[in-house]
């Protein structure tokens, strides 16, 4: 099961979670809360990231508002900035959006 849809703005990592044991050469078993009981606890080492305690890289599961099918909806909160880029014969406007489940540094154009 996926934690969310594969979209450009979806979080790359959810956690941190405790490693219970090493299974084989390249797999680890993780301890999940009861809400994630439907997710298989074994993960390949390439899917894991070492938690260094950086609060910008950690997205807590409780704050996401995850549905029963382990997906969540991105909701824009505020438009932080606007830009207009001129091409040869037309102008393209872009906006910087602050999202509900992200920090201000996670705002995207």
Same domain, 83 and 103: yes
Give residue-wise pLDDT tens across range 59-80: 665 655 666 666 666 778 888 8
Q: In the block, which residue shows the tokens 């390949």?
A: 44
Which residues constitute the domain of residue 89?
A: 75-109
Distances (CA, A) of 80 to 18, 68, 103: 36, 32, 13
Same domain, 38 and 18: yes
Same domain, 17 and 60: yes
Same domain, 53 and 91: no
pTM over 0.85: no
Tell which phi-psi region holds residue 74, choosing left (phi > 0), alpha (psi between -120 and 50) or beta: beta
Same domain, 43 and 80: no
Number of domains in the chain: 2
Give residue-wise pLDDT tens across range 31-56: 888 877 888 888 898 888 877 666 66
Same domain, 56 and 39: yes
Same domain, 42 and 19: yes
8 A C-beta contact, residue 32 and residue 17: yes
């Amino acid at each position: 099961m996926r934690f969310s849809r594969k979209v450009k703005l979806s979080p790359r990592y959810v956690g941190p979670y405790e490693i219970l044991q090493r299974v084989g050469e390249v797999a680890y078993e993780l301890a999940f809360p009861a809400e994630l009981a439907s997710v298989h606890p074994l993960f390949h080492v390439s899917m894991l990231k070492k938690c260094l305690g950086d609060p910008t890289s950690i997205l807590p599961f409780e704050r996401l508002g995850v549905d029963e099918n382990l997906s969540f909806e991105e909701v824009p909160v505020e438009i932080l900035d606007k830009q207009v880029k001129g091409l040869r014969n037309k102008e393209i406007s872009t906006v910087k959006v602050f999202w509900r489940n992200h920090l201000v540094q996670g705002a995207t154009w």
